[in-house]
Chain A
Amino acid sequence: MKTTQILIAGFGGQGILFAGKFLAYKGLLEDLQVSWLPSYGPEMRGGTANCNVILSDDPVGSPIITDPDVLIVMNLPSLQKYVDSVVPGGQIYVDSTLISEKVARTDVEVYYIPATQMANDAGVPTLANMVMMGHVLKNNPELTFDGTEATVAKLVPPSKAQLVELNMKALQAGRDYQ
Chain B
Amino acid sequence: MAERVLMKGNEAIAEAAIRAGCRHYFGYPITPQTEIAAYMAKKMPKIGGVFLQAESEIASINMVYGAAAAGMRVMTSSSSPGISLKSEGLSYIAGSDVPAFVVNVQRGGPGLGGIQPSQSDYFQATKGGGHGDYRMIVLAPASVQEMASLTVKGFNLADKYLMTAMILADGTIGQMMEPITFEDVEVESYDKPWALTGTKLRRKHNIVNSLYLKPDELERKNFERYERYRTVEENEVMYEEYMMEDAEVCVVAFGIASRVAKNAVAQARSEGVRVGLIRPITLWPFPSKVLRQAAEKVKSFVCVELNMGQMIEDVRLAIECTRPVSLCNRTGGMIPSPDQVLASIREAQKGGN
A contacts, CB < 8 Å to B = 21, 24-25, 28, 33-38, 40-42, 60-64, 66
Contact = CB atoms under 8 A, between A and B. Distances in A.
A36 B180 CA distance: 13
A63 B175 CA distance: 11
Given A34-B178, A36-B6, A64 B115 contact: no
A62 B179 contact: no
B337 interface: yes
Contacts of A37: 172, 175-177
A-B pairs with the 10 shortest C-beta distances?
A: A36-B177, A61-B263, A37-B176, A62-B259, A62-B260, A62-B263, A61-B262, A35-B178, A63-B176, A66-B337
Contacts of A66: 337-339
A40 B179 CA distance: 20
A28 B115 contact: no
A42 B31 contact: yes
13 contacts: A21-B6, A33-B179, A34-B177, A35-B178, A36-B6, A40-B32, A40-B175, A61-B260, A61-B262, A62-B259, A62-B338, A64-B260, A66-B338
A61 B178 CA distance: 12
Nearest to A33: B179
Nearest to A29: B4
Q: Which of A33, A37, A60, A62 has the most CB of B within 10 A?
A: A62
Nearest to A60: B178
Contacts of A24: 6, 177
Contact of A61 (B4, B32, B259): B259
Contacts of A64: 172, 256, 259-260, 335
A31 B213 CA distance: 61
Interface of B: 4, 6, 31-32, 115, 171-172, 175-179, 256, 259-260, 262-263, 266, 335, 337-339
Nearest to A52: B176
B182 to A, nearest CB: 15
Given A24-B6, A34-B6, A36-B6, A63 B179 contact: no
Contacts of A21: 6, 177
A25 B338 CA distance: 26
A24 B5 CA distance: 11
B332 to A, nearest CB: 15
A38 B335 CA distance: 14
B31 A61 contact: no
A37 B144 CA distance: 11
Contacts of A41: 115
Contacts of A33: 179
Given A34-B6, A38-B175, A62 B262 contact: yes
B264 to A, nearest CB: 9
Nearest to A64: B335
Contacts of B178: 34-36, 60, 63
B336 to A, nearest CB: 10
Contacts of B177: 21, 24, 34-37
A40 B31 contact: yes
Given A35-B178, A64-B172, 18 more contacts: A21-B6, A28-B179, A34-B6, A35-B176, A36-B6, A36-B176, A36-B177, A36-B178, A40-B32, A42-B31, A61-B259, A61-B262, A62-B260, A62-B262, A62-B338, A63-B256, A64-B256, A64-B335
A41 B6 CA distance: 22
